[in-house]
Amino acid sequence: MTETTPQLGQASALPLSPEAAQLDRVPNPHPNTDYLARFTVPEFTSLCPVTGQPDFAILVIDYVPGPWLVESKSLKLYMHSFRNHGAFHEDCTVAIGKRLADLLEPRYLRIGGYWYPRGGIPIDVFWQTGDLPKNLWLPDQGVAPYRAR
């Protein structure tokens, strides 16, 4: 974890794995204000750890920042690191949520993983930590239940 942004503004190699990916954070300019930040990853890809076939998902990450914000370029590179990573849907979704929570120390964080069907069954995975501040509006994640997305 770093408070600098060594990847921002320069060429960065694609990480070989999620473990090798560097996530950068920056100070929150409004640490005493409750607000929601949302990242949507509409083309998330990983590999099935059994068959090696690609899996696809829409990820939606909502968080109420504490002292830190995630630097978006590093987040994009981190998400890309899953492209050749074999893991089950539940593992990918929860691991991303936990890594962001550890890095950012948010007041609240939730991640929704809306996975396309594998073997004819879509799998949606949700994880959250912290309590949503009472004065904050939390919009729906905007991904409809599976109906031939």
Q: Quick check: is 140 catalytic?
A: no
Query: Using CA atoms, how far apart are residues 23 and 56, in angstroms rounded to an integer?
Result: 22
Residue whose pair of structure tokens reads 């509006």 in the numeric block: 137
pLDDT digits (tens, 9 = 90+) for 37-82: 999 999 999 999 999 999 999 999 999 999 999 999 999 999 999 9
Q: Quick check: is 55 catalytic?
A: yes
Cβ neighbourhood burial of 22 (10 Å; 0-12, 13-18, 19+): middle
- Predicted local distance difference test score (pLDDT) of residue 2: 47
pLDDT at 96 over 70: yes
Bridge partners of 37, per DSSP, are: 63
pLDDT digits (tens, 9 = 90+) for 103-135: 999 999 999 999 999 888 899 999 999 999 999
Annotated catalytic residue, options 24, 55, 62, 92: 55
Mean pLDDT of 89-93: 98
- Do residues 130 and 107 touch, judged by C-beta distance below 8 A? yes
| Residue 112 three-state SS | strand
For 77, phi then psi, to 5°, come to -65, -40
With both helix axes pointing from N to C terminus, report the angle between 89-104 and 72-80 in degrees, rounded to the nearest 10.
Answer: 160
Mean pLDDT estimate for the chain: 93
Q: How far apart are the first and last CA of the chain?
A: 36
Annotated catalytic residue, options 48, 92, 102, 131: 48
Other CB atoms within 10 Å distance of the CB of residue 40: 14
Global pTM value: 0.92
Residue whose pair of structure tokens reads 């990983």 in the numeric block: 46
pLDDT digits (tens, 9 = 90+) for 12-49: 888 999 999 999 999 999 999 999 999 999 999 999 99
- Do residues 22 and 10 touch, judged by C-beta distance below 8 A? no
- Do residues 112 and 126 touch, judged by C-beta distance below 8 A? yes
Farthest-apart Cα atoms in the chain, separation = 47
